[in-house]
Chain A
Amino acid sequence: MMIDPLSVFLLLISASTPILFAALGELVVERAGVLNLGVEGMMITGALAGFAAAYASGNPFLGFAVAALAGAAISLLFAALTQLFLANQVASGLALTLFGLGLAAMFGKPFEGVKAPAMPIGPLRINWIVWLGLIMVPVVWWFLNRTRRGLILRGVGENHEAAHALGYDVRLTRLAAIAFGGAMAGIGGAFISIATVLQWTEGMTAGAGWIALAIVVFSNWTAPGVLAGAWLFGGVTVLQLRLQAAGVAVPVQLLSMAPYLATIIVLVAISARQKYSRRAGAAAPGSLGTNFHALR
């Protein structure tokens, strides 16, 4: 039985949009040297805030704007803890996830059972937000690799002591990166509630934030890598569902584990390349996950 590759592709770019947004945001955060494990919490916050705004105003695009703001706002909690009070980033990030899930569940009660306004269909029958996600890939790449601010951000992430010594504001740079990551995660979460499910349900992001975190590692901390990772993950998921729908007799369990298997294989390939090639690879930013104190 033949499956139309174009239809699989159209499904996969839509399916991978939430994780693409979240992972692009987290990429910038991690390139600034901060490990924010709160992606899931920021996504669910965006999913709720965006849904609430879209429902109240009848305008899905306003919903996405509010989702970005809400994601950024809750990420500033993490920023305050880790950048001002120098709390442990891993613990703060996990706390942010738990906090976000709980907060959204609590404030989401009045929005259960109602439906979001329908999204207008964008060019080529692809949702506008999917387009935005695709555009953000070169934008993030260009920002990181071709702008002065991007260079500073990477410098802060590689070695915050050196960046500080050169007179760059490590804390402010990281604050901005964290807020950007929050906004992107918020949009990603809102895509699930506004564009995919059209309703608010508790816990609806169902682990997408964790996949986004894995994709950043998978991408070797590059924007095109994030796109590849999101598409691989989304693609294998979509393909296996599509094969099932077409009635192709393939072992479903094998297909279901394919994305995870692919991730492991790529991670092994990346680490093998780093071990055996002399090229100083991109790999993880040097100061990733460590706190910076100017007086140390």
Chain B
Amino acid sequence: MLRRTLLATASATLMALAAPAMAQDEPLKIGFIYVGPVGDGGWTYQHDLGRQAIEAEYGDRVETTFIESVPEGADAERALTQLALAGNQLIFATSFGFMDPVMNVAARFPDIKFEHATGYKTAENVAVYDARFYEGRAVTGTIAGHMTESNKIGYIGSFPIPEVIQGINASFIHARKVNPEVEMRVVWAYSWFDPAKEAEAASALLAEGVDVILQHTDSTAPLAQAQQAGAIGFGQASDMAAFAPSPRVASIIDDWSPYYIKRVGQMLDGTWETGASWAGIGDGEVVIGEITDAVPAEVKAEAEALRDAIGAGEYHPFTGPLNKADGTVWLAEGETASDEDLQSMNFYVEGITAQIPQ
């Protein structure tokens, strides 16, 4: 036992001595695991653009690798371990469902830094980062409220987690604000990326009379369905410009590059620390794609004004008075939601009649 401890201490000391020396000669190795393929044109594609931005920024000083299409669950642990054993010193895990695998692997490799997207568990060597997508949803919700003629807007949810529920609430609040008649229909696809399933979810909504579709899944399938039915939708995660000017009338783009470049820079100069980052429109992490001419000029102007107000920090998309769906008061007049409230959001706001699957 003692001998083993001694060996472990000795090797740890050696590694600690060797690490700075290596850092000067060898490039910093950075690994990524993606939940979808890099060619998904959505979520994973945007993370991969962030990875490429790291390479463009730091050139020979870094070396990046990625493993794509890693299922959320036990297999993620294998992929993460593989990246850790391959000598990566900073590992980005880019999906909510990688949370527990990240924590497990991080505990086994205390010298390696981990960055987990959209999660909430942190450790000495695990930081979390997320984007305030709900800020973008407020803008698309405003457009949706103006554009719907049937007064039914649909939302394709992926999984009932706080991030997605924030998006549903933010869209609905702002659609209702400009159109008091508006109703929200929600369909859960239980997948982040399944084009066929997303298409079916979209057609189910369309058959229900929905004419504006908001999606929280990553493929362009809902837009294709919307087009066939003469409805409109929004690009999700990436611009989805192939469907512009209609059915794609605007989009919410995730731009991870600023965060990735900042964190890798901190790794290189040794100032990396754990933390939780939650940046939004103001930091350029959530970008509203071009609002097309399919949207009337005054609606476009209103949406852009809202975007700018959120970006400048003058307006919070969750500002009271707001009630929960069960009628209880959530935010009083003028009160804004705290980040803790948002990160654990598990209720719809008043006006949405659907139930959140428990």
Taking beta carbons and an 8 Å cutoff, which residues of A are in contact with B? 4, 7-8, 11, 14-15, 18, 105, 108-109, 112-115, 118, 192, 196-206, 208, 237-238, 241-242, 244-247, 249, 251-253, 256
Contacts and interface: CB of A to CB of B under 8 A. Distances in A.
A151 to B, nearest CB: 36
B83 to A, nearest CB: 20
Given A196-B224, A245-B207, A204 B219 contact: yes
Interface string B208-233: 10100000000111001101100000
A175 to B, nearest CB: 30
Closest 3 CB pairs of A and B: A202-B37, A202-B39, A198-B224
Contacts of B354: 244, 247, 249
Contacts of A208: 196
Given A18-B196, A206-B195, A245 B224 contact: no
Contacts of B221: 196-197
Contact of B242 (A115, A237, A253): A115
Given A11-B207, A198-B220, A201-B37, A244 B187 contact: yes
Given A4-B207, A203-B40, A244-B188, 18 more contacts: A11-B204, A114-B242, A118-B227, A118-B228, A197-B220, A199-B219, A201-B41, A201-B220, A202-B38, A203-B36, A203-B193, A204-B196, A205-B196, A206-B195, A244-B354, A245-B205, A246-B208, A252-B357
A233 to B, nearest CB: 11
A113 B41 contact: yes
Interface string B21-38: 000000000000000111
A192 B39 contact: no
B185 interface: yes
Nearest to A14: B203
A8 B193 CA distance: 23
B200 interface: yes
B187 A241 contact: yes
Contacts of A252: 188, 190, 357
Contacts of B220: 197-199, 201
Interface of B: 36-41, 69, 154, 185-191, 193-197, 199-201, 203-205, 207-208, 210, 219-221, 224-225, 227-228, 241-243, 353-355, 357
A242 B190 contact: no
B224 A11 contact: no
Contacts of B225: 196
A203 B37 CA distance: 7
B269 to A, nearest CB: 35
Contacts of A249: 354-355
B39 A112 contact: yes
A206 to B, nearest CB: 5
B188 A11 contact: no
Contacts of A205: 196
A263 to B, nearest CB: 17
Given A196-B195, A206-B195, A256-B190, A245 B204 contact: yes
Contacts of A246: 185, 208
A13 to B, nearest CB: 12
Nearest to B38: A202
